[in-house]
Amino acid sequence: MKNNERSKSAVFLIEFLITLAVFSLACVVALRLYAKADSLQDNALRTDCASTIAATVAQELFLSGEDEQTLADYCAAAQSVSDGYSLYFSDSCTRCGQSEAAYMAVFSVERTEGSPALLNTEISVYAVQSALSAQLNDEPVYTLTAARYYPQMEVEQ
């Protein structure tokens, strides 16, 4: 009778340990999924903010591109880097200093050869933790390539 009870207890313990093992496995999977979801969410927010910043820079550049002097002034107000010019933005996508920055937008701007009325720009937005190493080919969060045509410049030509 006692042996029978001990055997039952051992079977229960084994059963319980198996349940725990399955539960632990499910925990690991769930935690990994939580971490993945969190990282995807962060990434989505960063990309969204970066696309807003790129759109803002493009719009400012296109407005400045109406004449050479304004464009030169706009570029002069930005910090010169090896790939072009850089501007710093906070996490609410407003312009700020380097110390408060959450994003760095690096842009290059050039007129198409033979058709100066066409202004081309490429804007890459980096998350600021990688801003200092942005020149070491860190992946940008978002890149926007855009062009704008100024018909009045063609007429002036």
Partner 1 sequence: MQRKSSGFDTIVVMTLMCAFIVISLLLVATGANLYRAQRESSQSDYELRTALAYVSNRVRQSREEMTLIEQQDVQALVFPEQIGGEEYLTYIYFYNGTLNELFTRSDSEFTPQLGQSITQLGAFGFSVENGLLTVNVSSTSGQTRTLSLYAG
Binding residues for partner 1, rule: CB under 8 A, are 2, 6, 9, 12-13, 16-17, 19-20, 23, 27, 30-31, 34, 37-38, 41, 44-45, 48-49, 52, 55-56, 59-60, 62-63, 92-94
Measured CA distances, 4 to 10, 11, 109 (Å):
10, 11, 85
Shorter beta-carbon distance to partner 1: residue 59 or 79: 59
Task: Specify the residue, 77 or 132, whose C-beta has the smaller distance to partner 1.
Answer: 77
Distance CA 86, CA 60 (A): 14
- Taking CA atoms, 38 is separated from 49, 51, 125, 130, 153, in Å, by 17, 20, 21, 20, 49
User: Residue 137 CB, nearest distance to partner 1 (Å)?
Assistant: 28
Q: Residue 56 Cβ, how far from partner 1 at the closest point, in Å?
A: 4
Residue 54 CB, shortest distance to partner 1, in Å, is: 11
Based on CB atoms, which residue is closest to partner 1, 64 or 86? 64
Q: Is 93 left (phi over 0), alpha (psi -120 to 50) or beta?
A: left
Residue number with CB closer to partner 1 (89 or 126): 89
Least gap, CB of 145 to partner 1 (angstroms): 17
What distances in angstroms separate CA 7 from CA 10, 12, 15, one per listed residue? 5, 9, 12
- Tell me whether residue 17 or residue 132 sits nearer to partner 1 (CB atom): 17
Give the H or E element holding residue 126.
strand 115-127
